Structure 1
């Protein structure tokens, strides 16, 4: 299939990234499953895609390392002929009040969330073919401003600003650039460190009165990465079930 679209999805071994990878594959795209440390899980995603008749390959890359990210794109070109879609789902979250946040944790979050997004987006800006799509991942907490999310929101606010500027810098390239900002979503990252009462309270916040699922977010990403989303550009789409 020489006209098959090719997607790179980072953070694709689990959670939202995994759902994005399998959803894009189901829509007919070849997928490079990017991962940092969960090799077995990444290979399972590849197996799931290929078992369904799709094409996929797993590639380890630290999103904040420009050499490893360049190699990720090189692999996509060698295996599938190029890159059309990039979804940067890799992320890190540590919750703490501003007063108590360990600065090493802050630096680690910003390295993955800010530098990582920048490195992946920079390579996408250099390599994507016309008709391509870049999707970054933020969080609805940027607008909701929950306590203990200060360091995380600082990093994701940077992601949103970068994304909106990149959309305008790619004028004339026929490449869309958007951010998806999930609300509370049932992933390992979300559940980590939360008790049942907190989870229940967050699940009740949307008018739909449930947590989002990775599939909910993946379907939004697939819309932006597919033909139906071509007229959406330079936007932050808050996929959160209606929390305001």
Structure 2
């Protein structure tokens, strides 16, 4: 019952992060862009730190073979790639972007599927070990904040009203909870330990393919700003090292 409570709380909390997008209405664009870059860098570092220092060791403790772990990491990596390619969706961390409204629906669908999958893998972590689940949730939340800021801006610039953008962004985030509940139900019939290395593959793909390219292609020539970005990335990794069991 304790595990189920953690899954429900984490699911509702992750959905609530969608409301962070409303900050795009309160802050100036230049301020948001300055905040987003370090946030994206921190998220990239924490995702990679979570994968290498928590999820992969967690998979080893779950008595999965090295070969099985490698295959499942590859499957998790590929799953996000396929999701991106077939839904023409990607993590968005830039403001603002003009897009046609039909594409905004694809973004919501893609986010909903991504959150559903994320809910399953985070729930799998809670089922294996509560501490591992908390670490994985915090890591995913660090990535979700800049993503929701970007997604909300895309919806607004795609013709959505402020209220509709908040509501539908929240609903797409709610699929995280549904994914978690399904994983919990399945855990009574199936071994869900495979979700741990699968989640590692997810984290590695998002960090390496989506987030790091965003900060690497930064054209800002200000050395101080670049130093802040690098420091944020290192901090994300170091934080996950500090909370290692």
TM-score, scaled relative to structure 2: 0.36
| Structure with greater helix share of residues | 2
| Structure with greater strand share of residues | 1
Q: State the structure with bigger RCO (CA 8 A, min sep 6), 1 or 2.
A: 2
TM-score, scaled relative to structure 1: 0.36
